[in-house]
Chain A
Amino acid sequence: QKEVEQNSGPLSVPEGAIASLNCTYSDRGSQSFFWYRQYSGKSPELIMSIYSNGDKEDGRFTAQLNKASQYVSLLIRDSQPSDSATYLCAVNGNRDDKIIFGKGTRLHILP
């Protein structure tokens, strides 16, 4: 059984600070990794995709991947109240195109 683990939170971060979200996965053969944001009652929206070890930056967001440690993280710089949401980590096993999600981390940005 492939698993994706996240701390459920809530994670409270002051406005303007850096929010750090973490995720581990069990399938060492996984090749594709994604971060989604989900507001209450809405469907998930894609923030970042990352496929190779290292950092990938897009605006205020940085995704970090370490395949040896089976660990992927998301950093949000200059956190805004609008960043308050649940952040879902997802992993694609590549061999079977099966995308598995973690349970999500609730992030609360304190004004």
Chain B
Amino acid sequence: DGGITQSPKYLFRKEGQNVTLSCEQNLNHDAMYWYRQDPGQGLRLIYYSQIVNDFQKGDIAEGYSVSREKKESFPLTVTSAQKNPTAFYLCASSMSNTEAFFGQGTRLTVV
């Protein structure tokens, strides 16, 4: 089955902890993206990657880090520097300059 898989679906983080959200795709897409969505808001771009071993900051990269060691994988780490991490995190992938397809999302809550 082709698609984008995010895990976990729900994640709870204690104050001061780093957590990593997984995103895997088997669509052979070149580009991958991470977005954050707050209640009643649109999608804000955190990081994106057009090719393996390269990635660029989006509009709200502070407090987040990513890696792109394999074409299929684009994990996002939410660091302790992110002061308000509670949100819905969406990973997407696309072929260059075409539409993006999304995973089912990870809902992160700080406890």
- Please indicate which of the listed interface residues A31, A98, A99, A100 has the most CB atoms of chain B within 10 Å of its own CB: A99
The answer to whether B35 touches A101 (Cβ under 8 A) is yes
The answer to whether A103 touches B41 (Cβ under 8 A) is yes
Stretch at the interface among B11-19, B63-71, B73-81, B93-101: B93-101
Q: Please, what's the 1-or-0 string for B92-111, where 1 marks a CB less than 8 Å from any CB in chain A?
A: 10101111111111000000
- Does more than half of chain A's interface fall in helix, strand or loop, or is it mixed? loop
Stretch at the interface among A52-60, A73-81, A86-94: A86-94
The answer to whether A104 touches B42 (Cβ under 8 A) is yes
| Interfacial residues of chain B within 44-73, with CB under 8 A of chain A in the complex | 44-45, 48, 50, 56, 58-59
Complex: chain B residue closest to A43, CB-CB: B102
How far apart are the CA atoms of A92 and B19 in the complex, in Å? 29
| Interfacial residues of chain A within 1-47, with CB under 8 A of chain B in the complex | 1, 6, 31-32, 34, 42-46
